[in-house]
Structure 1
Amino acid sequence: MDLRASSTTLDTVLFVLLVGVAVGTLAGVGDRRAPGGDRVAEETADLLATTTTEVTYTRSARVPSSALLDGDDTVTVTADRTAAGTRTELLAAAALADPSLGGASLTGMGGDLRAGARNATERVLYTREATVQVAVTWRPYPDATLRSSFAVGEAPPRDADVSVATVAAASGLPNVTRPAERAARANGFDGVAGVLADAVVADLFPPGQTRDALYSEGPDRALVAHRYRHASAALGVDTARFLTPGHVDQANKRLSSGLAKRLATDLRRRYDSPAAAAEAVRAHQVRVVVRTWSG
């Protein structure tokens, strides 16, 4: 059985929140100038950061029928979504929709938004003067095991003369570098990891909107419960008994605790001190790199 709806209670609010942060921050972040003054790379970066568009996509998951109906079977739940913003904002939203931890998806969703953002970007990339690729990367600190990355267009040939322009777009997460520095002094690597984990979980499962979804009847409730189950499995924690509107904070604490343990291990491996780890935190930025070359 397939159940489709156009309800947007959770995902639309999530995207609006993210874009609201991005619009206020983008103008003051990033370098859109290409080394050597390459005009196509620079103009393409400006185009992505300033032109708006709309993307229609879906959220879909196989869930137990008991989540919606009486029965022991499984059903496909699908909800239609619409997101609007600049192309850079759409790319940033797609990056944060489903980050991976050690190569494993955290939410099991986000592919349709990523495809929509890619398509919206591809429509403005091609010029007669150069070939263009856009690479999108989010990491809360360099080389983090928690990450998200994808590209629009093919990679340049190894022997190509490549020009580059970069935009640092807002990820939708708050700038937690200062809180991470304070946490490093108080609780070492565990403190830095905890600050990061709390911010990521709050972005993926914002308490107010998540409660609304769990109160609702139909696809929003089933989809957010599916996201919790997927994240719980990826992090090795149990949130099953907390998937009710009154226990969202407890569910998020479980996810945050599991993520913090993984991040603390990764930070200890990569940095000589908690202070160095905290200084490297850049969770609020998504790196969008435009590469152009002839041929």
Structure 2
Amino acid sequence: MHRDRGISTVFDVLLFLLIVSAAIGLLVTGYSEESEQPTMETASDVVTILSTSTETIVYTPDHSTVNTTDIDTRSDYGTVAHLLATAAVLEAEKSGEEIAATPAYTQAVTEATKGATAPVEDRVQVRAIWEPVPDGSVKGEVIVGDSPPPDKDVQAASISIPVATTDTPEQAEKSTQALSTVLAQATIESLFDTHRTKTAMESSHDEAEISIARYQDAATTLDTDLSIALEQEDNSLARSILVGALEEEYRRDIVRNPDSVSDISDKAAPTEVTIVVRTWSA
């Protein structure tokens, strides 16, 4: 009995040593310099990074007409993709003229994007595009990174980021006037988020002044007058006036577009920003 147990013990020890040796061999193999290492992040990988990495950006409001005393800086927090989407909306232009831009915000988002894509920053381009009406006069865009060299193979991936929650009613698809109204409402909601703008106008003097300055910028670009609404600090009235001005602009865009009203409605994206990532080999 004791002899069998001794044989068993020796066998167990030998088996243990064999397993340990195999494990060591696996570990050494796993760290071999000859093992294949990833040489390039794919465009899909970068999209994943942008949509999952969170950042806090800090920026100084840059409306020269506003003398801020209590507010030196502002901050925003979210995924890099969401921050990019917000920046694209804030960079919106009508026929090349800024609507209510906040350059300092865009610059802070650009730096955050560069940080998130640092491992491949010399071979990646990120574009955030806001186009409420297809081929329309209003468009916002932020581009981070250079265009790919013409002699490189390029990969591309994209993601859509919501910036507002307004839906397009089915009846809007049947009429140019109805569609232009709905799209104008959704565009202004995206530009001037209802809750945030209302809160700003009702908070400190400096916060209100910054919001008013953005409204005035938009009114100038859209060729309308908000003086009464702003004097009364009536956020709803100000938005309604801007919607009316933009509605007429969109009506002209829709009439010029060769597509049907229904097709334009399907393609319109006033509450979404598309982020397109392009990567290429070193």
**Which residue of 236, 247, 270 maps to 2:234?**
247
C-alpha deviation, 1:164, in angstroms = 0.9
> Pick from 92, 96, 102: which aligns with 1:110?
102
One of 150, 154, 164 as aligned partner of 2:146: 154
Q: Which residue of 2 aligns with 1:57?
A: 59
- 2:158 is the counterpart of 1:166: yes
Q: Higher Cα Rg: structure 1 or 2?
A: 2
Question: Which range moved further: 234-243 or 157-166?
Answer: 157-166
The question of whether the paired residues in 1 share the 8 Å contact of 2:124 and 2:278 is answered with yes
1:41 aligns to what? 43
1:88 counterpart (81, 84, 89): 81
Secondary structure of the 2:62 match is: strand
Q: Partner letter of residue 53 of structure 2?
A: T
Shift of 1:88: 0.7
Per the alignment, in what secondary structure is the counterpart of residue 48 of structure 2? helix
Aligned residues: 242
Greater share of strand residues, 1 or 2? Answer: 1
Establish whether residue 291 from structure 1 lines up as the match of residue 278 from structure 2. Answer: yes
1:143 corresponds in structure 2 to 135
Does the C-alpha gap of structure 1 residues 129 and 219 become closer, same or farther in structure 2, counting only changes over 3 Å? closer
SS at match of 1:49: helix
Provide the aligned C-alpha RMSD in A. Answer: 2.3
- Amino acid paired to 1:58: T
Counterparts of 1:129 and 1:52, CA distance in 2: 18
Counterpart of 2:91 in structure 1 is 98
Q: Judge which range, 240-249 or 131-140, deviates more.
A: 240-249
1:1-295 matched pairs, under 5 angstroms: 39-63=41-65, 75=67, 79-107=72-100, 109-127=101-119, 131-170=123-162, 172-177=163-168, 179=169, 181-185=170-174, 188-244=175-231, 247-295=234-282
**What amino acid is aligned across from residue 144 of structure 1 in structure 2?**
G
Counterpart CA distance in 2 for 1:235 and 1:128 is: 40
CA shift in 2, pair 1:291/1:223, >3 Å: same
Kindly state the Cα deviation for residue 213 of structure 1 after the two structures are TM-superposed. 2.9
Task: Please give the secondary structure, in 2, of the residue aligned with 1:154.
Answer: coil
Residues in 1 aligned to 2:96 and 2:52: alpha-carbon distance in whole angstroms = 32
Runs of 5+ consecutive residues of structure 1 not aligned to the other structure? 1-37, 65-74
Which whole-Å CA distance do the structure 2 matches of 1:182 and 1:292 have between them? Answer: 41
1-structure distance, mates of 2:51, 2:203: 35
Rounded to whole Å, the distance in 1 between the matches of 2:262 and 2:223 is 28
2:120, 2:92 → 1: CA distance?
35
Q: Contact conserved, 1:134 with 1:291, CA < 8 A, in 2?
A: yes
2:91/2:142 contact within 8 Å kept: no
Shift of 1:129: 10
Structure 2: runs of 5+ lacking an equivalent: 1-39
- Distance in 2, Cα, partners of 1:134 & 1:86: 14
Give the alignment's TM-score, normalised by structure 1: 0.75
- Report the Cα offset of residue 52 of structure 1: 1.0
- Between the aligned partners of 2:53 and 2:198, the Cα distance in structure 1 is 34
Asked if the contact 2:126–2:145 (Cα under 8 Å) also holds between the matched residues in 1, the reply is: yes
Q: Compute the TM-score of the two structures, normalised by the length of structure 2.
A: 0.78
Contact 2:186–2:271 (CA<8 Å) still a contact in 1?
A: no
Taking a change above 3 Å as real, the CA distance of residues 128 and 251 of structure 1, as seen in their structure-2 partners, is closer
Overall identity of the aligned pairs, in %: 28
SS at the partner of 2:225?
A: coil
What amino acid is aligned across from residue 135 of structure 1 in structure 2? R
Q: What's the CA shift string for 1:259-295, capped at 9, x where partnerless?
A: 0101110111113432222122222321111111123
